[in-house]
Protein backbone atom coordinates (compact mmCIF):
# COMPACT_ATOMS: atom_id res chain seq x y z
CA UNK A 1 0.00 0.00 0.00
CA UNK A 2 1.35 3.46 -0.86
CA UNK A 3 1.97 5.88 2.00
CA UNK A 4 1.05 9.56 2.11
CA UNK A 5 3.54 11.66 0.16
CA UNK A 6 4.58 8.89 -2.23
CA UNK A 7 4.60 9.78 -5.92
CA UNK A 8 3.17 8.04 -9.00
CA UNK A 9 5.91 6.86 -11.34
CA UNK A 10 4.04 4.46 -13.65
CA UNK A 11 0.39 4.13 -14.66
CA UNK A 12 -1.65 0.92 -14.99
CA UNK A 13 -1.22 0.66 -18.77
CA UNK A 14 2.56 0.96 -18.44
CA UNK A 15 2.65 -1.81 -15.86
CA UNK A 16 0.40 -4.13 -17.89
CA UNK A 17 2.59 -3.68 -21.00
CA UNK A 18 5.75 -4.20 -18.94
CA UNK A 19 4.38 -7.41 -17.39
CA UNK A 20 3.22 -8.68 -20.80
CA UNK A 21 6.71 -8.02 -22.16
CA UNK A 22 8.49 -9.52 -19.16
CA UNK A 23 6.15 -12.53 -18.86
CA UNK A 24 6.30 -13.43 -22.55
CA UNK A 25 10.06 -12.88 -22.60
CA UNK A 26 10.67 -15.19 -19.60
CA UNK A 27 8.36 -17.89 -21.03
CA UNK A 28 10.21 -17.63 -24.37
CA UNK A 29 13.54 -18.09 -22.56
CA UNK A 30 12.26 -21.19 -20.73
CA UNK A 31 10.55 -22.81 -23.74
CA UNK A 32 13.37 -21.85 -26.12
CA UNK A 33 15.99 -23.40 -23.85
CA UNK A 34 13.74 -26.45 -23.50
CA UNK A 35 13.87 -26.93 -27.29
CA UNK A 36 17.54 -26.09 -27.66
CA UNK A 37 19.13 -28.44 -25.11
CA UNK A 38 18.43 -32.15 -24.80
CA UNK A 39 19.11 -31.90 -21.03
CA UNK A 40 16.25 -29.38 -20.75
CA UNK A 41 13.78 -31.33 -22.90
CA UNK A 42 11.90 -32.23 -19.68
CA UNK A 43 10.38 -28.72 -19.88
CA UNK A 44 8.56 -30.04 -22.97
CA UNK A 45 7.29 -33.05 -21.03
CA UNK A 46 5.82 -30.68 -18.45
CA UNK A 47 3.90 -28.95 -21.25
CA UNK A 48 2.61 -32.10 -22.91
CA UNK A 49 5.53 -32.97 -25.20
CA UNK A 50 8.01 -31.29 -27.52
CA UNK A 51 5.39 -30.46 -30.17
CA UNK A 52 3.28 -28.67 -27.53
CA UNK A 53 6.44 -26.90 -26.29
CA UNK A 54 7.07 -25.54 -29.78
CA UNK A 55 3.50 -24.25 -30.03
CA UNK A 56 3.73 -22.59 -26.61
CA UNK A 57 7.00 -20.95 -27.75
CA UNK A 58 5.61 -19.77 -31.11
CA UNK A 59 2.36 -18.34 -29.77
CA UNK A 60 4.14 -16.69 -26.84
CA UNK A 61 6.36 -15.15 -29.51
CA UNK A 62 3.26 -13.50 -31.01
CA UNK A 63 2.34 -12.05 -27.59
CA UNK A 64 5.94 -10.84 -27.24
CA UNK A 65 5.78 -9.05 -30.63
CA UNK A 66 2.53 -7.27 -29.65
CA UNK A 67 4.03 -6.28 -26.26
CA UNK A 68 7.20 -5.07 -27.95
CA UNK A 69 5.28 -2.78 -30.32
CA UNK A 70 3.27 -1.36 -27.38
CA UNK A 71 6.43 -0.93 -25.28
CA UNK A 72 8.27 0.79 -28.14
CA UNK A 73 5.42 3.31 -28.54
CA UNK A 74 5.04 3.82 -24.80
CA UNK A 75 8.72 4.33 -23.88
CA UNK A 76 10.10 5.84 -27.10
CA UNK A 77 9.66 9.45 -25.97
CA UNK A 78 11.47 9.02 -22.63
CA UNK A 79 13.90 6.15 -23.32
CA UNK A 80 14.46 6.20 -27.10
CA UNK A 81 16.24 9.53 -27.45
CA UNK A 82 19.43 10.77 -25.81
CA UNK A 83 19.39 14.32 -24.44
CA UNK A 84 22.66 16.16 -24.59
CA UNK A 85 24.78 17.24 -22.85
CA UNK A 86 23.51 15.65 -19.60
CA UNK A 87 23.34 12.09 -20.98
CA UNK A 88 26.93 12.31 -22.24
CA UNK A 89 28.11 13.75 -18.91
CA UNK A 90 26.27 10.93 -17.10
CA UNK A 91 28.00 8.35 -19.31
CA UNK A 92 31.43 9.92 -18.71
CA UNK A 93 31.05 9.18 -14.99
CA UNK A 94 29.05 5.93 -15.50
CA UNK A 95 26.25 7.50 -13.47
CA UNK A 96 28.30 7.02 -10.30
CA UNK A 97 27.71 3.24 -10.48
CA UNK A 98 31.37 2.22 -10.88
CA UNK A 99 33.36 4.74 -8.84
CA UNK A 100 32.65 7.53 -6.39
CA UNK A 101 31.24 10.64 -8.09
CA UNK A 102 30.65 13.81 -6.08
CA UNK A 103 27.70 15.04 -8.16
CA UNK A 104 26.04 12.77 -10.73
CA UNK A 105 24.63 14.82 -13.67
CA UNK A 106 20.86 15.14 -13.44
CA UNK A 107 19.05 13.06 -16.04
CA UNK A 108 15.37 12.75 -17.02
CA UNK A 109 12.97 9.81 -16.59
CA UNK A 110 15.54 7.24 -17.81
CA UNK A 111 19.30 7.32 -17.58
CA UNK A 112 21.53 6.57 -20.62
CA UNK A 113 22.13 3.00 -19.38
CA UNK A 114 18.38 2.42 -19.29
CA UNK A 115 18.05 4.05 -22.72
CA UNK A 116 20.69 1.68 -24.11
CA UNK A 117 18.83 -1.23 -22.56
CA UNK A 118 15.56 -0.01 -24.10
CA UNK A 119 17.17 0.31 -27.55
CA UNK A 120 18.73 -3.17 -27.20
CA UNK A 121 15.32 -4.59 -26.28
CA UNK A 122 13.78 -2.97 -29.37
CA UNK A 123 16.63 -3.99 -31.72
CA UNK A 124 17.12 -7.52 -30.41
CA UNK A 125 13.37 -7.99 -29.91
CA UNK A 126 12.71 -7.07 -33.55
CA UNK A 127 15.47 -9.47 -34.65
CA UNK A 128 13.98 -12.27 -32.52
CA UNK A 129 10.49 -11.57 -33.86
CA UNK A 130 11.48 -11.42 -37.55
CA UNK A 131 13.80 -14.46 -37.44
CA UNK A 132 11.19 -16.41 -35.45
CA UNK A 133 8.40 -15.61 -37.91
CA UNK A 134 10.58 -16.56 -40.91
CA UNK A 135 11.47 -19.91 -39.25
CA UNK A 136 7.79 -20.52 -38.50
CA UNK A 137 6.54 -19.53 -41.97
CA UNK A 138 9.43 -20.07 -44.41
CA UNK A 139 7.04 -20.13 -47.39
CA UNK A 140 8.46 -18.88 -50.67
CA UNK A 141 11.88 -18.06 -49.18
CA UNK A 142 15.18 -19.60 -50.25
CA UNK A 143 16.67 -22.30 -48.05
CA UNK A 144 19.95 -20.34 -47.79
CA UNK A 145 18.08 -17.29 -46.39
CA UNK A 146 15.98 -19.31 -43.94
CA UNK A 147 19.10 -21.10 -42.67
CA UNK A 148 20.54 -17.74 -41.54
CA UNK A 149 17.58 -17.21 -39.22
CA UNK A 150 18.74 -19.98 -36.86
CA UNK A 151 22.14 -18.54 -35.85
CA UNK A 152 20.69 -15.00 -35.81
CA UNK A 153 17.86 -16.12 -33.48
CA UNK A 154 20.42 -17.80 -31.20
CA UNK A 155 22.68 -14.72 -31.25
CA UNK A 156 19.77 -12.42 -30.37
CA UNK A 157 18.91 -14.75 -27.49
CA UNK A 158 22.45 -14.61 -26.03
CA UNK A 159 22.40 -10.79 -26.00
CA UNK A 160 18.84 -10.62 -24.64
CA UNK A 161 19.49 -13.19 -21.92
CA UNK A 162 22.61 -11.39 -20.66
CA UNK A 163 20.90 -7.95 -20.64
CA UNK A 164 17.84 -9.41 -18.91
CA UNK A 165 19.82 -10.42 -15.82
CA UNK A 166 21.54 -7.03 -15.59
CA UNK A 167 18.10 -5.36 -15.88
CA UNK A 168 16.59 -7.71 -13.30
CA UNK A 169 19.37 -6.94 -10.83
CA UNK A 170 19.30 -3.15 -11.36
CA UNK A 171 15.48 -3.05 -11.26
CA UNK A 172 15.32 -4.91 -7.93
CA UNK A 173 18.10 -5.35 -5.34
CA UNK A 174 20.63 -3.16 -7.19
CA UNK A 175 18.47 -0.05 -6.71
CA UNK A 176 16.17 -0.54 -3.71
CA UNK A 177 12.67 0.90 -4.21
CA UNK A 178 12.81 0.69 -8.03
CA UNK A 179 10.75 -2.49 -8.38
CA UNK A 180 7.66 -0.57 -7.17
CA UNK A 181 7.52 0.93 -10.68
CA UNK A 182 6.45 -2.53 -11.79
CA UNK A 183 4.23 -3.41 -8.82
CA UNK A 184 1.90 -0.59 -7.75
CA UNK A 185 3.53 2.38 -9.48
CA UNK A 186 4.13 4.40 -6.27
CA UNK A 187 7.66 5.35 -5.16
CA UNK A 188 9.17 7.66 -2.56
CA UNK A 189 10.20 11.19 -3.52
CA UNK A 190 13.70 10.44 -2.22
CA UNK A 191 13.98 7.55 -4.69
CA UNK A 192 12.85 9.74 -7.61
CA UNK A 193 15.28 12.49 -6.52
CA UNK A 194 18.13 9.97 -6.72
CA UNK A 195 17.03 8.03 -9.84
CA UNK A 196 15.18 10.57 -11.99
CA UNK A 197 15.99 14.07 -10.60
CA UNK A 198 15.34 16.08 -13.75
CA UNK A 199 12.05 14.26 -14.42
CA UNK A 200 10.94 14.94 -10.82
CA UNK A 201 11.70 18.65 -11.17
CA UNK A 202 9.86 18.86 -14.52
CA UNK A 203 6.82 17.04 -13.13
CA UNK A 204 6.74 19.29 -10.06
CA UNK A 205 7.11 22.46 -12.11
CA UNK A 206 4.39 21.45 -14.58
CA UNK A 207 2.04 20.56 -11.69
CA UNK A 208 1.54 17.07 -13.12
CA UNK A 209 3.19 15.15 -10.29
CA UNK A 210 0.70 12.84 -8.60
CA UNK A 211 1.33 12.71 -4.85
CA UNK A 212 -0.54 10.09 -2.80
CA UNK A 213 -3.19 11.75 -0.63
CA UNK A 214 -2.91 15.13 -2.42
CA UNK A 215 -4.60 16.71 -5.42
CA UNK A 216 -2.27 17.44 -8.36
CA UNK A 217 -1.42 21.15 -8.72
CA UNK A 218 -2.79 20.97 -12.29
CA UNK A 219 -6.18 19.66 -11.08
CA UNK A 220 -6.28 22.12 -8.16
CA UNK A 221 -5.81 25.11 -10.50
CA UNK A 222 -8.95 24.21 -12.53
Q: Which residues bind ligand HEM (CB under 6 A)?
A: 18, 21-22, 25, 71, 75, 79, 110, 114, 117-118, 121, 164, 167-168, 171-172, 178-179, 181-182, 195
CA within 13 Å, CB half, 214: 15
Q: Which is nearer to ligand HEM, 75 or 90 (CB)?
A: 75
| Min separation Cβ 110 and ligand HEM, Å | 5
Closer CB to ligand HEM, 15 or 54, in the complex:
15
In 102-173, which residue ranges form alpha helices assigned H by DSSP? 112-136, 143-171
Nearer residue to ligand HEM within complex by CB, 53 or 71: 71
Smallest separation (angstroms) from ligand HEM to the CB of 214: 21
Which residue's C-beta sits nearest to ligand HEM? 171
Question: Which residues, including other chains, have CB under 8 Å from residue 57's CB and lie 6 or more apart?
Answer: 28, 31, 32, 35
From the CB of 11, what's the least distance to ligand HEM, in Å? 13
Q: How far is the CB of 195 from ligand HEM (least distance, A)?
A: 5
Nearest Cα to Cα of residue 82 among 54, 108, 50, 55: 108
Residue placing its CB nearer to ligand HEM in the complex, 114 or 131: 114
Which is closer to ligand HEM, CB of 69 or CB of 146?
A: 69
- CA geometry: angle at 77 spanning 71 and 81, to 5°? 110
Phi/psi of residue 3, nearest 5 degrees: -105, 160
Among candidate residues 8, 118, 29, the one with its CA nearest the CA of residue 71: 118
Say how many Å lie between the first and final Cα of the chain, rounded: 29
- Residues in a beta bridge with 187: 7
Residue 95 C-beta: closest distance to ligand HEM, Å: 12
Nearer to ligand HEM, 143 or 190 (CB): 190
| In the complex, least distance from residue 220 CB atom to ligand HEM, rounded to whole angstroms | 26
Contacts of 217 (CB under 8 A, 6+ apart): 207, 208, 209
**What does the alpha-carbon distance between residue 194 and residue 26 come to, in Å, rounded to a whole number?**
29
The length of the chain in residues reads: 222
Amino acid sequence: MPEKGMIKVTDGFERIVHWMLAGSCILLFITGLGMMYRELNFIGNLMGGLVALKYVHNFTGLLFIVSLVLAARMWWHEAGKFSMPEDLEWMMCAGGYLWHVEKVPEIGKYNPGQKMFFLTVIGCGALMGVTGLVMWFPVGLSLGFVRWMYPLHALGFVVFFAFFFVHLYLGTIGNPGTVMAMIDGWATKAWAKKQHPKWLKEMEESGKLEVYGEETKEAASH
